[in-house]
Amino acid sequence: MRFAFLDRDGVINRFPGKGKYVTGFSEFKILPQALKAIRLLTEAGYELAVISNQGCVSRKLITKKSLADLTKYMLKEIREAGGRSPKVYYCVHQKADNCACKKPKTLLLKKAVGTRKIKRSEICFIGDSEEDMEAAKNFGCRPVLVLSGRSKKKDVPALSVKPDAVHKNLWEAARWLVNQKK
């Protein structure tokens, strides 16, 4: 079984900016080629799980229902583009809550894998931030950085966890990942 984790903001949809959140449909803009990338991964046999920190819920900037509505929209767009809907796991807490689910902690990754017999070292986590790379390392999977969100090329040398690969966006990362298995 092939399995990959995807961050949401900055990987699938446009990153709203440091300290900002996607709180409505007008802010939820799917990145160019992201749906095509998810379709490619689906066609290559990958099961996908979206793992995303959404502290905007605990900050009361968006309700759980509104977050669920945005998620339904995202999944509909993925299906209509020919991809298989990934499972979606959110941490709605703030750092101060000291929960077990906020990346770079790994509870959501463990939930996503569940009881499947998958070698963690064969799972990739495609993300746009240092916390995504740290979550991948903490879980024992492969960190893959995309430069379509928070991180830029100049940030890579200072990352505490060096990614296995760095790509411009999810499309390039998906193509790289699919070609790794050939």
Q: Is 7 a known active-site residue?
A: yes
Q: Is 97 a known active-site residue?
A: no
- Across the beta sheet with 87-91, the strand order is 87-91, 46-53, 2-6, 124-127, 142-146, 165-167
Structure-token pair, residue 168: 């411009």
Give the span between the Cα atoms of 106 and 52, in whole angstroms: 11
Structure-token pair, residue 182: 């050939």
Enumerate the active-site residues.
Answer: 7, 9
